[in-house]
Amino acid sequence: MRLRVRPAVRRTRILVALVWLLVVPWHPGHADPSRYGMDGGQKYSPLTDITPENVHSLEPAWRYHSGDLGEGFRNREYSFQATPVYRDGVLYVSTSGGLAIALDATTGKERWRFDAQIPRDIWYSEHASRGVTLWHDPDGRVGVACADTVFLPTRVGVLVALDASTGEPCPAFGVDGRVDLRASALPPESDVQLEPGEYGVTSPPVVFESMVIVGSAVGDNRAVALERGVVRALDARTGREVWRFDPVPRRADDPAYASWSVEGARRTGAANAWAPLSVDAALGLVFVPTSSPSPDFYGGMRPGDNRYANSIVALEARTGRVAWHQQLVHHDVWDYDVPAQPVLTEIVRDGARVPAVLVGTKTGMLFTFRRDNGEPLHGMEERPVPASDVPGEVLSPTQPFSRLPAVADQRRLTPDDAFGIVLFDKWACRRILREYRSEGLFTPPSIKGSILNPGWAGGVNWGGVAVDAGRQVAVVNVIQGPGLVRLIPRDELDDLMDSGELEDWEVARQAGTPYAMARRLFLSPLGLPCTPPPWGKLVAVDLTAAKILWDVPLGTVRDLAPAVVPNFAWGVPGIGGPLVTASGLIFIGAAGEFVFRAYAVDDGRELWRAELPTSANATPTTYQVDGVQYVVVAVGGHGGLGLPRGDVVMAWRLPATR
């Protein structure tokens, strides 16, 4: 266990936690659709109008087309991944093209739209915008501009503040309603060049009191020295920076500094929080999921464990100081970011409800900690892992493992695991399984090639975990697809590129290291995963018993696989998360298939499905207007999965009764 709690903070946290338990009792009906992921990222709604008994009667309520299909943008991965947020009869949503849109929540009619006019002629390292954030100014007056504010993050690293009533920029925020985060992310006196499209904000920020707190998305694998992954708190009215936290410690008096080399801490960038953050207003803590330091797949230039990277970090919301942290991957060389919003919930331990934070990881593990001090609730342990055979690389001899059961396959893969629907397909997979290094979870990247299981997409990705605290059940969308990675000595890269050997690989230069990187999904010549299905699944975990309650394949291959492949329910990869309701339902798209589904929380039975114009790689939401419950999801496809792009927000409700 690697836990750091500053002594001066420990006693205060204990007292605040006792007050929290006394004055903020757990209530299963507390949820707020005006916040991304509901309260604390639980993706849980107390609404019960739609039930397992009547969900089959759901009918379309409305659909809205934004018109943003990514025309003119260079990225083929472009997709619409936002989760709308709801307040006072209005839905607010963003698009990857820099639009913020307000919709009537009962009809889908557009009330206003704002275009941030981000450039289309540059290459973006990230292609998503997962939503906007709402903030009510406690000092604002009714009818005064920006008393209610919409914060729109953009892929160019500019945060925009808009009047929630009109969509007009808030003139007091930054310059004409905008704060440019890019230049201040560069290290001082550095040779790092800001590359357009490589630094942005893809997840909605969070608000605490009169501050808006925002992370960033930094383009991976370009070099050792990159933009810094700072988390900033800005004054919500003016945009003035209140505090900042850098996940790479730069000062010798920081407790985490000892886990870095001096040169590594000086030069390394990233370790950024690209996934959504969570806030506990009662404890005054903001929970930050951090990613890998730069570059992802070779760490020889940054020896040590590299804390606070790949960690859950609890910051004091008013100051930005570290209250506690737990590192979940030491010295990451697998791109095993902490990819999902930390979930603030209550977990029953020894008959008592404990305020907890639950974290899903790309390794396929779920970790749980006390919110006030970071103490593991289900336990974690350090286990030996394979060593690297790459010159210059020194890995941690152990890695943290959760004592909760893994939700994804972490096995060592052998030639006997090769999958294919025809012999040549299976033989091609078997050849790679013979030649590449494969030792299960935490197999290091190598020059000859390694199989990462899970791959860098997860396990768990940004869709994260939904928690029904009343039932003590966590529900997670799991990607079940290994990846291949090769480290290429720099003097061999040009010849390999010219030969065409890397034609189907994603190649990154990793400047400042001896090695370039090439990676791709472990797919057969027919484009199917080389390992047996399911390739995507929905998993429920009993948090009291610490066991898998059930798991079911999520989706069929009909919209993803070649036409020669039968339409089997093998489960398919996708991104996005589940939504759980108090009535016992799970709503989810989040698969490479044109279907939106409802499942039963208790046993994983599919209860309802709706056909879509493309895939819904987003997390749904639900809300109630005039006694009617609506379920809404963004249907945007995914260019990176070869699925058609979409621009649709779709809503369902039960039939109107007379």
Q: Is 411 a residue whose pLDDT tops 90?
A: yes
Strand locations in 31-132 (E): 44-45, 59-65, 85-87, 90-94, 99-104, 110-115
44-98 confidence digits (pLDDT tens): 999 999 999 999 999 999 999 999 999 999 877 888 999 999 999 999 999 999 9
Dist CA 371 CA 400 (whole Å): 19
Dist CA 273 CA 288 (whole Å): 7
Cβ distance 539 to 525 under 8 Å? no
115-157 confidence digits (pLDDT tens): 999 999 999 999 899 999 999 999 887 778 999 999 999 999 9
**Taking the model in full, what pTM does it have?**
0.94
Q: Is 322 a residue whose pLDDT tops 70?
A: yes
Helix, strand, coil share (%) of the chain residues, nearest 5: 10, 35, 55
Dist CA 336 CA 293 (whole Å): 10
Q: How distant, in Å, are the alpha carbons of 75, 282, 492 from that of 578?
A: 27, 26, 44
Q: Please give the pLDDT value at position 564.
A: 60
> How is residue 21 annotated by DSSP?
H
Q: How distant, in Å, are the alpha carbons of 314, 545, 546 from that of 347?
A: 18, 11, 11
Sign of the torsion formed by the C-alpha atoms of 340, 385, 538 and 422: positive
Q: Is 209 a residue whose pLDDT tops 80?
A: yes
| DSSP per-residue string spanning 379-424 | -EEEEE-PPP-STT----SEEEEESSPPSS--PPP-GGG---SSHH
Pairing of strands 547-553, 199-200: unpaired
| DSSP per-residue string spanning 330-394 | SS--S-----SPPEEEEEEETTEEEEEEEEE-TTS-EEEEETTT--BSS-EEEEE-PPP-STT--
Mean pLDDT estimate for the chain? 92
Dist CA 130 CA 118 (whole Å): 16
Residues 6+ apart with CB under 8 A from 541: 366, 404, 405, 407, 473, 474, 475, 476, 547, 548, 549
Active site residue 559: no
Name the token pair of 576. 């996005």
Dist CA 363 CA 454 (whole Å): 6
Adjacency order of strands within the sheet including 231-235: 206-208, 211-214, 231-235, 241-245
Dist CA 300 CA 250 (whole Å): 18
Q: What is the mean pLDDT of residues 383-395?
A: 98
Query: In terms of Cα–Cα distance, which of 631, 650, 632 is closest to 55?
Result: 631
Q: At 439, which helix (H) or strand (E)? A: none
Q: Please give the pLDDT value at position 186.
A: 84
Q: Please give the pLDDT value at position 7.
A: 39
User: Catalytic residue among 280, 296, 335, 425, which?
Assistant: 335
Dist CA 436 CA 420 (whole Å): 18
557-616 confidence digits (pLDDT tens): 888 766 666 678 899 988 999 999 999 999 999 999 999 999 999 999 999 999 999 999
Beta bridge partners of 482: none
> How is residue 8 annotated by DSSP?
H
| 517 band by pLDDT with thresholds 50, 70 and 90 | very high
Dist CA 328 CA 309 (whole Å): 9
Q: How distant, in Å, are the alpha carbons of 112, 224, 226, 323, 595 from that of 395?
A: 52, 17, 22, 27, 42
